[in-house]
Amino acid sequence: MIYENKYLELLSHDFPTVQSASTEIINLSAILNLPKGTEVFITDIHGEYDAFNHYLKNASGIIKEKIDILYPDLAAEDKNRLAFFIYYPTDMLNKYQESCDSPAYERLLKDILYKMIMICRQIATKYTKSKVQKILPDEFAYVITELLYESNNHEDKELYYQAIIDAIFLTRREKKFIVQISRFLRNLAIDRLHIVGDIFDRGPKPHLVMEKLLKKSNVDIQWGNHDISFLGAASGSQVMVANVIRIAARYNNLDCFEDGYGINLLPLARFAFQMYGDDPCTIFIPRVKNEDYQNEEDLSFVAKIHKAIAIIQFKLEQKIINRHPEFGLDDRLLLDKIDPLHHTVTIGQSTYPMCDAKFPTIDWQDPYTLTKEEKDVIDHLTQLFLHNEMLQNHAKYLIQKGSMYLAYNNNLLFHAAIPLHEDGSFRCQLIGDARYGGRALFEVCERKVRQAYLNRYAKDNPDKDYFLFLWQSGNSPLFGKHAMKTFERYFLSDKTTHKEVNDPYFKERLKPEVLKHIFADFNMDNHKAKIINGHVPLDVTKGDEVILADKRIYSIDGGMSKQYADRTTIGGYSLISDSHAFFLVSHERFESYISLIQTERDIVSITRSEEINPHRTYLYDTNKGEEIKEKIKDLYKLLEHYRNGTIKEKA
């Protein structure tokens, strides 16, 4: 009771009178009866900024759907033109200014503008006027408000409406206005964006993806294993610094760090050339697509960097693995299993020939000790990561907006898997003095990540070790496989050694009793809840099952990364949940936005699944609605205290 009174006293500063508290109760009660906003779920972006940016611009097909609803009789060509004016207004304005005479150009822009306003009106009906005004561009806030909320049914109002449009053109502000209202429309179309893991690695521009997300407030992120690797590097984990650079080299994306983040890799490059200058490093040649092709000399140089940082990483892993036998990573220590005379390595009971046996930095009497030069390089890189302003801003955003899992609006979001035994029970992991499984494992891992990041500048930070656990342990909820075969994939030609076995979760999750157990552990309603994952690229056009367990599980990694072009013909999925339905759309593979503008043909594909809600979903059915209901209860208590004199009105 004492704490409740203290809380209500604090609340009274925001609502200092009976009138203000009553008004807020009325406002919140009305808001509860608005339709639920549109949620979009995307996963496994992997640095593909251009594709991701396009999915935001077309709101994963939502904008085109609104055009179809409002203008069913419009020709397909005109619908596409209108859509692209919303997606890429500046480019489309320039395109048609060059191809049209002035009167035709003005007629086109007026028509486009009218239609944009009608689409804005249709989407804005789901939101309060105050929420809409928060999204409005300052420069045109008054004008757009008038156009959105003034009815033009009456003749006088129609003239008023027309006068506003004419004045926009007479003052030559039509281009700026179209750019601003298109941005407003795109922001309005998605109420909440869920990123279900893996923003980083493989693709060339994860820094631009993060810069895009930084401008948005309605985002949550469930960390993937590649995000954890980035967070580890930002927290000063040397093994994760080596890991993110190794992966960037593997896919020929070192520019991401050098040009994107401004991290100078020259000391690493010098060291690599010094140690491996006469080594062709054939197995470390980067994986490149045709459009990324560089000459052989450039690729050979990147290969030397790739090999140098890979060996540093293998050495660094040993101390963490030895400190934490409970991580179950002993079988990943393979440098000491190499026979340098016969160029073989022994794994378990088998001995394999190696594809590469040149290791000038390894002392075979003490194979895991860094040379002085290696130590200088990794120490220098770690300091660059710890003190890079842009990189740290991105890491801070990931910490603030991210989590290991999220239970939201009856959807359980996590990136990869819940570690299970073959019988479907939770597999536990020893952390500290206790064992954790299921939700408890997610939560203790999240605490370790947050503590590691918050103490990133501390000299002794044992929590950093958990980044390696989350990256590649068989018990990691973010990895979901029995072992990561990085060493084998580099050095062994026998592909049977490359196989990474999936966690039993991927099979057991299909059983109703296992799903029921999972939902109960996460305090979710078994009759309503769904699981949404990424992590495993799937292609519905090749027969892969994306929607599982009678539409209780959506596995929505569609291979957005171009590195998956040989595995998936599509370019990713978007899962959409609005007040009417729950549906999955696939996207064609993104090539370039310039080619899209030239053809005015979008890459949103057919809806693959659709669940129509038997009753439209309103805000009172959502997590946000529960928060509002709690606030209403608190305000009623405040009113009671005002009226019985326990708390004095402030004005």
Question: What is the 3-state secondary structure of 414-472?
Answer: CCCCCCECCCCCECCEEECCEEECCHHHHHHHHHHHHHHHHCCCCCCCHHHHHHHHHHH
Quote the pLDDT of residue 207: 96
Query: Do 235 and 300 fall into the same domain?
Result: yes
Name the range with the highest mean pLDDT among 79-83, 452-456, 641-645.
452-456
Query: Do 115 and 224 fall into the same domain?
Result: no
503 within some domain: no
Burial class (CB in 10 A: 0-12, 13-18, 19+), 576: buried
pLDDT per position as a tens digit, 340-379: 999 999 999 999 999 998 999 999 999 999 999 999 999 9
208 within some domain: no
| Inter-helix orientation angle 296-323/465-472, to 10° | 110
Query: Do 10 and 88 fall into the same domain?
Result: no
Structural domain boundaries enclosing 89: 39-196+534-617
pLDDT per position as a tens digit, 10-28: 988 999 999 999 999 999 9
Q: Is the pLDDT of residue 292 over 90?
A: no
How far is 128 from 132, CA to CA, in rounded Å?
A: 6
Quote the pLDDT of residue 388: 97
How far is 188 from 184, CA to CA, in rounded Å?
A: 6
Name the range with the highest mean pLDDT among 55-64, 425-434, 554-563.
425-434
Grouping H, G, I as helix, E, B as strand and the rest as coil, residue 116 is helix
Beta pairing partners, 609: 584
Query: Do 190 and 254 fall into the same domain?
Result: no
End-of-domain residue from the set 481, 498, 515: 498
pLDDT per position as a tens digit, 548-579: 999 999 999 888 888 887 778 788 888 999 88
Query: Do 17 and 107 fall into the same domain?
Result: no
Residue 151's pLDDT band (cuts 50, 70, 90) = low
Quote the pLDDT of residue 606: 62
235 within some domain: yes
Q: Which residue's entry shows tokens 């955003």? A: 397
Query: Do 481 and 539 fall into the same domain?
Result: no
Query: Do 262 and 286 fall into the same domain?
Result: yes
209 within some domain: no
Query: Do 456 and 593 fall into the same domain?
Result: no
Query: Do 288 and 262 fall into the same domain?
Result: yes
Total structural domains in the chain? Answer: 3
